[in-house]
Structure 1
Amino acid sequence: MSVYPIIMTQSRFTHREHLKYPFEERGLQFGDGIYEVIRIYHGTYYLFEEHVDRLFRSADAIKLKLPFNKEELKKLLLELLSRNEMKTDGKLYLQATRGSAPRDHIFPGEDVLPNIYAYVQDLPRNLDSLTNGVKTITQRDVRWENCYIKSLNLLPNVLAKQEAKENSCYEAILHKDGTVTECSSSNVYLVKDGKIFTHPAKNNILHGCVRMAVERFAKKHNIPFIEQAFQVSDMSSADEIFLTSSTSEILPIIQVDNTVVNDGKPGDITRQLQTAYEKDAKIHQTIQAESRE
């Protein structure tokens, strides 16, 4: 079954060979792919191993065979930084799809190779939000049950994030029947009586790389890290609330809907974790710099 040659694109018609993008691409047509976002500080990756490991876990989960092993991918991503002569704070975006093939729900044959690309761009730290905290709203979690896979199917996340923006908020905290899962693009935590609570790392949330680092920091500083889901109603009496992601780092939440958290001030445990994060990022920078010498 071959596709007829004339394609409509926007309001024009053109030959399919002249299109600037592969129209029969499984990432575009099915969201059949995965991605990673890795934070960069001063031209070095942060939590590099954790992100590469997660990419391969996501690939295994959707039965996508990548054309390289972990060590080969790491070499490629390090070379990408080198070729761009990147020395600033930024991020890497990497995407892998099942490739370009005639549209069919069934996987294409083994002769179809994955489409893979990665790029880096500048991304300064959001120092104002890190210092003063952010406002959030709550939204019903309508996503699928396999959010541990970092897949391209992000429309519910996009809609929740847009709703937050339209309400002058930074993030949307998602919940299922009142049980908080995570945010539209970050993990979320509640602090009460000196203890950190967060949803267990099950299939219905993303196992965040910064989340893993926070658990490590908490253990080092003897702060109880409890994988126990909390309720939307619990946030009204929280001592602190914060969120984490590769681009947001460890970000204080000072308001949820109309409820102000801790008099609108970031809490002590959040500050302690932020300090640990910054020290850890500097250690990673030193290790990568020494490995390149």
Structure 2
Amino acid sequence: MTEVYLNGAFMPLAEARVPVLDRGFLFGDGVYEVIPVYHGQPLRLAAHLDRLERSLAGIRLANPLSRAHWEHLFTRLIASQAAENQAIYLQVTRGAPPVREHRFSKCVEPTVFVMTKPMAPRDPRIAEQGVAAVLREDIRWQRCDIKSISLVAAVLLRQEAADHDAEEALLVRDGWVVEGSTSNVFIVQDGALATPPVGPELLSGITRELIIELSERQGLTLKQRPLSVEDCRRADELLICSSTRELLPVTRLDGAPVGQGQVGPLWRQLDAAYQACKTELMRTPHG
């Protein structure tokens, strides 16, 4: 039976309940994080908790738990699952005031929810065929650097990609590709990598930061600069990344081949480095 944490108590998932007046339910007023776990070890935990702090500050909500408390919750929930590779999902909302009101209510405790689920292995066909993506106008709000639970725009965009047999929708804002609906974007051109710079129009992905670090370790050239639609269409390689999907090669964009339409050498190099990073994490003693 799956165990979750909700507002100070561990319980079966089927028994977890929140009030209908919870602001997360009524307004999408909250933030979340997704943290990959390999062999019982969270990857880049400190970076995820740092981003949680930034997201909470962005919506003017104090962090309800200390880092030690968060880590205790994660350790217990990870141990409750049989799967070695998991994804932690945590969500903090502004809680449930006595009445529905747009303005913040005073003296309301935040709602804190945490669960884990098994993380499926990557489909081996991806390494041979890559995935498809489509370009779509960015219809989201102006603070995409906050990992908000208000995700209806991202849901619609990701579903539109699925409707076209694509893995992801790459989002275009004022002519520039900023990120995917649930991922960050890299291109490869003339042997060099590029990715859009951090700003309010995109989420600073933890996996994105790891890919940047791995690129530096591999001695690759990488620039953080705006990417135009044509940059993506003419790229030799196009890559997307996220915490649970890791790094994926995009070989088709809007039905047209990216580069030669094949998985490229820089994806293979970076993916090997990423897998080595995971292996090193698995060798680290549990703290």
Q: Scaled by the length of structure 1, what TM-score is found?
A: 0.88
1:157-168, aligned counterparts within 5 Å?
Answer: 157-168=154-165
Deviation at 1:266, TM superposition (A): 1.1
Deviations 1:147-206 (A, max 9, x none): 110001111111100100111111000001321000000001111011111110111100
Aligned equivalent of 2:65: 68
- Report the AA paired with residue 36 of structure 2: R
- Out of 119, 123, 139, the residue aligned to residue 119 of structure 2 is 123
- Report the AA paired with residue 123 of structure 1: M
Which has the greater radius of gyration?
Answer: 1
Deviation at 1:123, TM superposition (A): 1.7
Query: 1:249, 1:26 → 2: CA distance?
Result: 32
- Out of 139, 142, 146, the residue aligned to residue 139 of structure 2 is 142
Aligned equivalent of 1:4: none
Query: 1:152, 1:179 → 2: CA distance?
Result: 24
Aligned equivalent of 2:153: 156
3-state secondary structure, aligned to 1:175? strand
Query: 1:176, 1:161 → 2: CA distance?
Result: 16
TM-align CA RMSD: 1.5
Counting matched residue pairs gives 270
Do the aligned residues in 1 keep the contact of 2:161 with 2:167 (CA within 8 Å)? yes
Aligned equivalent of 1:30: 27
Q: Which stretches of structure 1, 4 residues or more, deviate above 3 A after TM superposition?
A: none
Query: 2:210, 2:283 → 1: CA distance?
Result: 17
- Out of 246, 249, 252, the residue aligned to residue 249 of structure 1 is 246
Query: 2:63, 2:94 → 1: CA distance?
Result: 9
1:260-279, aligned counterparts within 5 Å?
Answer: 260-279=257-276
Do the aligned residues in 2 keep the contact of 1:178 with 1:233 (CA within 8 Å)? no
- Report the AA paired with residue 126 of structure 1: R
Percent identity of equivalent pairs: 33
Query: In the alignment, does 2:235 pair up with 1:238?
Result: yes
Q: Scaled by the length of structure 2, what TM-score is found?
A: 0.90
Label 1:234 to 1:85 Cα distance change in 2 as closer, same or farther (>3 A). Answer: closer
3-state secondary structure, aligned to 2:260? helix
Deviations 1:244-278 (A, max 9, x none): 00111000000100220132211111111101111
Deviations 1:11-50 (A, max 9, x none): xxxxxxxxx6411010011111000011122232112111
- Report the AA paired with residue 195 of structure 1: A
3-state secondary structure, aligned to 1:78? helix
Aligned equivalent of 1:114: 110
Query: 1:235, 1:119 → 2: CA distance?
Result: 36
Which segments of 5 or more consecutive residues in structure 2 lack a partner in the other structure?
1-16
Query: 1:56, 1:184 → 2: CA distance?
Result: 22
- Report the AA paired with residue 109 of structure 2: L
- Report the AA paired with residue 291 of structure 1: H
- Out of 181, 198, 202, the residue aligned to residue 199 of structure 2 is 202
Query: 1:268, 1:140 → 2: CA distance?
Result: 30
Do the aligned residues in 2 keep the contact of 1:45 with 1:285 (CA within 8 Å)? no
Deviations 1:72-107 (A, max 9, x none): 21222122212x044422211111100011211111
- Report the AA paired with residue 89 of structure 2: Y
- Report the AA paired with residue 257 of structure 2: V
Do the aligned residues in 1 keep the contact of 2:41 with 2:286 (CA within 8 Å)? no
Aligned equivalent of 1:291: 286
Do the aligned residues in 2 keep the contact of 1:53 with 1:70 (CA within 8 Å)? no
1:155-194, aligned counterparts within 5 Å?
Answer: 155-194=152-191
Do the aligned residues in 2 keep the contact of 1:172 with 1:183 (CA within 8 Å)? yes
3-state secondary structure, aligned to 2:286? helix
Aligned equivalent of 1:98: 94
